[in-house]
Amino acid sequence: MLIAPGVLALAAEHIRQALPAARHFVVVTSASIWSHWGQMLMDSFLASGESVDVIEMPDGERYKNLSTVEKLSDQLVKLMADRKCVLIALGGGVVGDVTGFLAGVYMRGIRFVQIPTTFLAQVDSSVGGKTGVNLRTGKNLVGVFKQPELVLADPQVLTTLPDREFRAGLFESVKAGVIRNPRLFEFMEENRERVLAKEPAALEWVIAESVRVKADVVAEDEEEQDLRRILNFGHTIAHALEAETRYKYFLHGEAVAWGMIAATRIAEQTGRLSAEAGRRIEDLVRSYAPLPTVDVKPKSIFRRLASDKKTVGGLVHFVLPCEIGRVEIVTDVTERAVLQAVEDIRDLSRAPFPAGVGAPQSQEMGEGSPAR
C-alpha cells in the first residue's frame, strides 16, 4: 500500500511497476467520483502511454448489489476483458467492495487495484481483503476474500469529499487509536485543527497509522481467531443504531462515534476503565464532529443486539477499552448496563456540542433526514 499526497497523479507508473505483465486496465468508478478525479488518473495513464477503459456504476450504498455486479460483468465482456485484465477501483467503500467482488468472481478471478477516495475507504475498507455486496435481506451477505495487488491512497483526493463524510471516516481512526495505538490517539488529540483542515502531511500520518492497526490485527488474527473482533470497538451499538434508523439517518462513522462513547461508559461503569481515560475518549470523539441526535428507545437497541449476527450463544460481545490503546472482549455485559449506556448517549446527544466543534452540517442532520 502506498500512502502519499500526489500518488494519484503517478498512479499508472505505480500500477505498471506492481503489475508488469498486465494487458488491459479497466477503471470501475461512479460518475461523480470520475468527475472529480478521473482526469488526473487518465493523465497518468496517457503520460505513460497506456490505454484504459472506464466503466461506471451508480453512486450509493443501494447499488452495492448483485445486479450492479452483473451489469459491470457484461460491460467487461463487451470490452473483451480476459483473465489478464486488471480492474482499478476508483471510489469509496461502495465502489471498492463491488470492484473487489467483481474481480473475485469475473472469469473465476482477475487482479485488481484499489484507489480509495474516501477517508473511510483509505483507512478501513481497502484493507483486509473483505469484499462483497448487499442482499435485500441484509448488508454484506455475499462476498469473497480478495486482496488487491496494490492500494494507492492519496490524501489529496479527500479535498473534494463532503465535510460530513470526511469527519465520519475519522472516527475509524479514533477507533484504531483506542484499540491499539495510543500514539495515534494522542496525535489526534493534539493535531485536531491540522487533521480537520485536511493538511496532507497530518492525514498521511493518521492514515498510515490507522491502516497499520487494521493490517496488523487482520494478520495476527490468522493465528489468534478472536483478535479481529477488536476492530468492532464501537460497532456493536453502532450497527444497532444504524439498523434502528434504517440506515438513513447516521453515517456509519457517526454511529460508531456514539457506539464508542456508549462502550466507554460501559467500561467505566464496570470498573474496567479509569474516569480520566473515559473522559479523554469521550472528549476526543466529541471534538471531531457534531453528531446527529440519538432518538431511539434503549430497549429497541438492546433487542437488536440480542439478535445481531455476531451474537454467539445468546451472549452479546462487547469490545470495551481498559486503557487508551488496549481493549478486551467481554461477554457478560448486563442488559441494565446496555440500557443505561444508550440512555447516556441519548442525553448527551441533546446537550450542546463542545465549543469549537461547530455544527456546519446541522441542517442536513434534522430528524429523519437521510444520511446519504
Q: Which residues are catalytic?
A: 108, 130, 172, 214, 224, 228, 232, 235, 239, 252
CB of 51 to ligand NAD, least distance (A): 24
Q: In this complex, which beta carbon is closest to ligand NAD, that of residue 117 or of residue 181?
A: 117
Q: Which of 21, 20, 56 shows the shortest CA–CA distance to 38?
A: 56
Q: Which of 64, 175, 229, 286 binds ligand NAD (CB under 6 A)?
A: 64
Residue 254 C-alpha cell reads as 457517526
Positive or negative, the CA dihedral 69, 228, 119, 209 is negative
Nearest C-alpha neighbor of 255 from the set 283, 276, 232, 228? 232
Of 5, 7, 6, nearest in space to 151 by CA: 7
Binder among 24, 81, 89, 124 for ligand NAD (CB under 6 A): 124
Residues of this chain, 146-205, that bind ligand NAD according to CB under 6 A: 157, 160-161, 165
Stretches 31-39, 193-201, 217-225, 296-304: which one binds ligand NAD (CB under 6 A)?
31-39
Q: Is 289 in the site for ligand NAD (CB under 6 A)?
A: no
Minimum separation from the CB atom of position 41 to ligand NAD (A) = 12
Of residues 336-365, those binding ligand NAD (CB under 6 A): none
- Name the region of 314 (left: φ>0; alpha: ψ -120 to 50; beta: rest): left
Q: Which range touches ligand NAD (CB under 6 A), out of 26-34, 50-58, 190-198, 269-277?
A: 26-34
Stretch that binds ligand NAD, among 56-64, 148-156, 189-197, 264-272 (CB under 6 A): 56-64
Inter-residue contact 161 to 196 (CB < 8 Å): no
C-alpha cell at 345: 448517549
Count of residues near ligand NAD by CB under 6 A? 27
Going from the C-alpha of 357 to that of each of 140, 169, 284, the distances in angstroms are 33, 16, 11
* Location of C-alpha cell 476503565: 273
Q: Site residues for ligand NAD, window 80-119 (CB under 6 A)?
A: 91-95, 97, 117-118
Cα gap 366→352, rounded to integer Å = 15
**Closer residue to ligand NAD (CB): 17 or 35:** 35
Taking the complex as a whole, the smallest distance from the CB of residue 32 to ligand NAD amounts, in Å, to: 5
* DSSP SS3 for 106: helix
Answer yes or no whether residue 59 interacts with ligand NAD by CB under 6 A: yes
- Considering the complex, what minimum distance in angstroms separates the CB of residue 344 from ligand NAD? 26
Give the footprint of ligand NAD on residues 201-260 (CB under 6 A). Answer: none
Number of H helices, E strands in the chain: 14, 10
Q: Which of 14, 16, 36, 192 binds ligand NAD (CB under 6 A)?
A: 36
Enumerate residues 6+ apart whose C-beta is below 8 A from 66.
133, 135, 142
Query: Considering the complex, what minimum distance in angstroms separates the CB of residue 237 from ligand NAD?
Result: 17
* Burial zone of 147 (CB within 10 Å; 0-12 exposed, 13-18 middle, 19+ buried): middle
30: contact with ligand NAD by CB under 6 A? yes
What distance in Å separates the CA atoms of residue 295 and residue 241, rounded to the nearest whole number?
Answer: 9
Residues of this chain that interact with ligand NAD (CB under 6 A) are 30, 32-33, 36, 59, 61, 64, 91-95, 97, 117-118, 120-121, 124-125, 128, 130-131, 140, 157, 160-161, 165
